[in-house]
Structure 1
Amino acid sequence: MAAVHESVLDAIGGTPLFRLARLGAGIAAPVYAKAEFLNIGGSVKDRAALSMILAAERDGLLEPGGTIVEATSGNTGIGLAIVGRQRGYRVIAGVSDKSAAEKADILRAYGAEVVLATTSVPQEDPRHLFNVVRRLAEEIPGAWLANQYDNQANPDAHVRTTGPEVWEQTGGRVTHFVAGVGTGGTVTGTGGYLKQVSGGAVTVIGADPESSSYGGGDGSPWFVESIGHFLHPETVEDRWPQAYRSEVVDSFERIPDRESLLTARRLAREEGLLVGPSSGAAVAAALRVARRLGPDDLVVVLLPDSGRSYLSKVHSDTWMRRWGFLEEEAADGLRPLLEAAGPLVTVDADATVGEALEALRFAPGGVAPVVLPRAARPYGVADAEVLGSVSREVLRAALADGGAKPDGPVRPLLGPALPTAGVGQPVAEARELLAAGGRPAVVVLVDGKAAGVLTEEVLG
């Protein structure tokens, strides 16, 4: 008989496990997925939202008629909107401008006010999302900043609910727990509980974007929302969330964007589980782990949210092709032209005019993207770190008329960023981009990273 609840808040938690029979075919260790997207708000963050609001009320931080303010990639804000509006609060969600548009729409549908801000600037920048919401919390009378990243009621929700559910559902047989790491609350609370109740027998694995600094990357941008730790190269002090306890995580599986996104699509098509890209990352990690185990082991992987929030992204063929994640074998694709174009040439934004001209000697058409400087780029050139473009023609003209000097900065001479096309897009679409923008070249993206520049002459 189906459960009957007096409130939607009573339906938070108690999510089922599903065995991944198709994606796990041929693997000795069974892999079970905890379907957190079946929470009332569509994500695991409903648990943290309820826990944080109840703790704030108990501690006198949130009073009747108050305002809840939070910075969110979407899911925590949705949970706070559901719980907060049910309990009579105004809710303001600061949302990253990189988040899927569906999340802002869902927030508004639940009655939250949405403020969009960037996360692609140093943490100290007043325009950064975190600083925008802090100012709102300070300026609005009776406002409470939920601060999921440092709020201990976040991991505590999983110590009290998610961890015990996994233990009970598996009859204490779980040996490995896999989850993505965003704020760190889910993996810290659930993983910490499972370690404690098993006497340390359960191994906890973090699923992390390849370039995230949690797992050892340089913090450069990636495409999987809601997990990982981004580090802008100009950030002065890198702060990790206090909700995250690194000692709980035994190891990381670092998953490239393409593997995460394609795994999320496979979960929908092969397992009937419409989930978001962070679930794809977690399952990709869990499958890696399970392949190293035996039939006496049991892997549980947490699926954080629903794919309904990403229909315009990971579950859209158009979006996947646009960013170079889908590439069919086709005679009219950009791959042959890209391979013939030679290596990508970029110019650091901190370069001098003379240094930029030297780099442009090797650039097709004498034009190149200008990028935020990083010490090294082992994960490629992220489109999000492209600040503009520079051309040999413009620099030479500036030197000739005295508007620039060889040892002067190149930044004042930057032009707009070049248009981009995914490697799987037809040549005709790349030509249309050039015609529409009047630009001399197009940047070709492979897995969301700049891979080469094709000029108008090459595209024909």
Structure 2
Amino acid sequence: ADPYGSIFKTYKESGHVPEPTPYLVEGIGQSHPVGNANMKIIDEIINVTDRESFEFARQLSRVEGIFCGGSTGTNFAAALKVAKNLDENGLIVFIVCDTGEHYLTKFHSDEWMKEKLLLEPQKITAGLIIETKNSGAPKEVISVAPDDIVGDALAKMTENSVTQIPVLEDYKSVGSLKESRVLTKLLENRDLLNAKVSEVMDKSFPVLDVDASFNEIKAQLQKSPAVLIEDFKRITGIITRTDVLDLQK
């Protein structure tokens, strides 16, 4: 088993030492030939991606209780690829070569996996996006109340560099403000600057549970510019189309 980016597979098959490329899994692979790797006794070298290495290491920890490092995941992924070509009597041995203690803040962390774009979409939840989308963002949802004055609400949107904002009352969504629509109404009636938000607000953004899946979020964002995230019946976050696009870069 060898990570993509290491030189061993190409070196074994052609005798040529390729230019190594970066990979994230640690403790396995090389950027140059080493004396303790005897290619003559190796039948085959199987390349494994970083995502496969980390996902299978996490699976071993979660399902089998084997708390391991990423290189063990590499070995396990290769073993599974070999297993596809064996019958039910086949026997495969792979090495658990590290503990997961050194990687608690790396691939054993959902946040780290998401930052490295290695977390599979079905594993990404609304709560995870809210927690990690912007480390500099305030924890409280930027919002206005239905009794706030429209002019003050627009000033708040400008101050926070947002073009849309939820209208909340007792931590529940009762409407939304979109800058473009409010400005259109103000062109028709400037007196609305002194009106209550409830007089100009639009319907609420869709509300999803904190455990909503990535696919559920995307489905709602096809119909709405933002979705609100609810935890224990309180609005605790907002996810916009831009947040999802940033996630998919």
Question: Which bin holds the TM-score, normalised by the shorter protein?
Answer: 0.3 to 0.5
Q: Which one has a bigger Cα radius of gyration? A: 2
Q: Which has the higher strand share?
A: 1
Taking structure 1 as the reference length, the TM-score comes to 0.26
Taking structure 2 as the reference length, the TM-score comes to 0.46
